[in-house]
Structure 1
Amino acid sequence: MLIIFDLDDTLVDTSGSIQEYHLRAALQAMIQQGLQVDSEEKAFQQLKAVDAQSPNGKETFRLFLTQSKQDNPQLFEIANTIYYAPLPEDNTLPIPTLPDAHHILTSLAKSHRLCIISTGNSKLQYHKLQQAQIPLSLFAKIIILNEYNKKEAYSHLLKECTISPSQTIVCGDKVSTDLLPAKELGCHTIHISWGRGKVTLPKPLEVDYSISFLKELLPLIAEIQCKL
């Protein structure tokens, strides 16, 4: 089977590692460009609270600026540019995988074709893989998109691999951008309830399966194969 993974909060624990770093850097950039705050720390706590309930970074900054009554397109653009920028070359922040990721990926790669389709800055996404020590050789293809348009990417990949949607599994934490596009194509979908995946949970019938830990993947994929 073809198994397609998202990266952030699906294979690497972005929310639990570098997310706060990017949030603070974005806040500091907005303050330098004129964002009015009583104190940086108070504003940072407010920003984190908004982010904890937000489906993505862009929505975080949109809501934060609205709540701060400072809807400014320039501040919004600055925040997103900094938030999604690559980490500095000398940055040593650890970026761990989700629990059991190495074992699960190694096991699956023995009998399945694995791919990653992720959205973000290409340099940053590859940096995450490197820091998490995930071997690139496990994947037949790694695709990094600039914008959320995964349905087209899924479709192209299936054609390239000459494989049907019924033989394809897509795993991700975001229902709307990772899984619904795959579901529309007829792929099997598995929701990973991790990081932002805990913020927006799937509604009934939106996804085929939902799990909390990657270790649940092996028996679940075996179950899917038995049903084919």
Structure 2
Amino acid sequence: MTAITPDALLTELHKAADVVASQAGKLTEADVTASSTLPGWTRGHVLAHITGISNAMARQLEFADRGETVDLYDGGHEGRTKAIEMAAGHTLAQHRADLDSALERALRAFDSLDAAGWQAPISYRGGVVLDGGAALWRELVIHTSDLNTGLGPETWSRTFCEQLFGFLAARVPEGQKFVLQPLGLPPVSIGTGNRSTVINGMLTDIAAWLAGREPSLGSLRASAAADGVDLPELLPWPSGVPITK
């Protein structure tokens, strides 16, 4: 899995921002309070989260530009959750305005980077700005699908899915290795254990399953030692926000 370059990532961020803004622009007032694909979350919750992570990542870059670091969210995981709950019930007009402002702020921060800026340290996962950009790309693409407006994981690009495989290797339990076998594509191995499970299916379905979303193009099949088995359990999502409880 090849690491994405800053130029390619910047292009993908702009594409993803355009798509989520376009989908938000199609919503009605009633749609905001309707269910998303995430249990317990309305579309308003999803919009509030996309706005929140866009602002949070923009802030990471703004501090990095001054040679400083700052927590991803004020108040950590609890602060993140509280902010989402408070904003979820906003009107459609408020959601659109907040989302547009947050996306513009984030893209402006990424657009202004020079080569050194992409490698500036940030607090998110103890990484650098490039890691933050990849995280925002994931958030925009995945949560656009969570809005439940008709753009599910089947719309995810090959490049995105392959980048997701690398990040979500952290979900492979200790002692296990997953051999991901997308239909018509080379296999990808994630995890370092000795117990191998082969996962067969469409590329986007495998990516959706790893991301905790529902595969939409067909069934996935798992096998170990040539025998069919249940899909393995996954570890929690590798969050960049410390969870204390």
TM-score (norm 2): 0.28
Using CA pairs under 8 Å that are at least 6 residues apart, name the structure with larger relative contact order, 1 or 2: 1
